[in-house]
Amino acid sequence: MLLVGGRGAPLQRETQGKWLGWTCPHDASAIMAAIQEAIKNPEKRQAMGRNARQVFDMRHSKTIAMQRWELVLNSVLTGERIAGEVLVNTGDVVVFDKKKTASAGSV
């Protein structure tokens, strides 16, 4: 992944902190340098790609998406506001910080 811009933004900090890819400012020479570094370092590029895929899958897998839709639909049914983010993701089950009134497994 190459993040151009985003200086100081959460995505930039996450990209750098979790080793998900390269970041650079909106500058043609900086962009070219980042691309050249990626080309010259296939092992680093592959490791960053694996890390980025893992983060993506933890946040946007089909299971996660369905559980988030479930949360949204239950909030509409109950009139409650959604308050929170995912606390735990085991790969099979996601635990939110708010109890749900129905489950995708019960549908």
Reading the block at residue 1, the tokens are: 């992944």
Distance between CA atoms of 29 and 43, rounded to whole angstroms?
23
Mean pLDDT of the chain: 82
3-state DSSP of the chain? CEEECCCCCHHHHHHHHCCCCEEECCCHHHHHHHHHHHHHCHHHHHHHHHHHHHHHHHHHCHHHHHHHHHHHHHHHHHCCCCCCCEEEECCCCEEECCCCCCCHHHC
How far apart are the two ends of the chain, measured CA to CA in Å? 37
Distance between CA atoms of 86 and 89, rounded to whole angstroms?
7
Q: pLDDT by residue (tens digit) across 56-86?
A: 998 888 888 898 889 889 888 888 776 655 4
16 versus 68: the higher-pLDDT residue is 16
Region of residue 38 (left: phi > 0; alpha: psi -120 to 50; beta: else): alpha
In the predicted model, what is the mean pLDDT of residues 6-15?
A: 92
